[in-house]
Amino acid sequence: MNYLYAAYGATWVIHIVYLVILTRGYAKLREEIKDLEKH
């Protein structure tokens, strides 16, 4: 059972980490756009 939960858990950890990376990338890009608009 431990292997089963580890596999299901690892799947969602991988997906969530990727979604967090995407969200951070989006926020960084938004900041860059704001900077571009200022200058």
Partner 1 sequence: MKSSFVIFALLIFALLSFGLYEGLVAAPTEQTMGDVQRIFYYHMPSAITAFLCFFVNFGASIAYLMKRRPAADALAVSAAEVGVVFTTVVLVTGPLWARPVWGIWWTWDARLTSTLVLWLIYVSYLILRRFSGNNPVLSAVLAIFGAADVIFVYMAIRWFRTQHPQPVIGGGEGSGIDPHMFQALLANFVAFAAFAAMVIFIRYRLERLRQQVEEAHAMRAISEPAERVSR
Two tokens at 2?
A: 């431990």
Separation between Cα atoms, residue 19 and residue 24, nearest integer Å: 9
| 33 is a contact residue toward partner 1 (CB under 8 A) | yes
Separation between Cα atoms, residue 26 and residue 34, nearest integer Å: 12
- Give residues 3-32 in contact with partner 1 (rule: CB under 8 A): 3-4, 6-8, 10-11, 14-15, 18-19, 22, 25-26, 29, 32
Two tokens at 32?
A: 């860059």
Which residues of the chain form contacts with partner 1 (CB under 8 A)? 1, 3-4, 6-8, 10-11, 14-15, 18-19, 22, 25-26, 29, 32-33, 36, 39
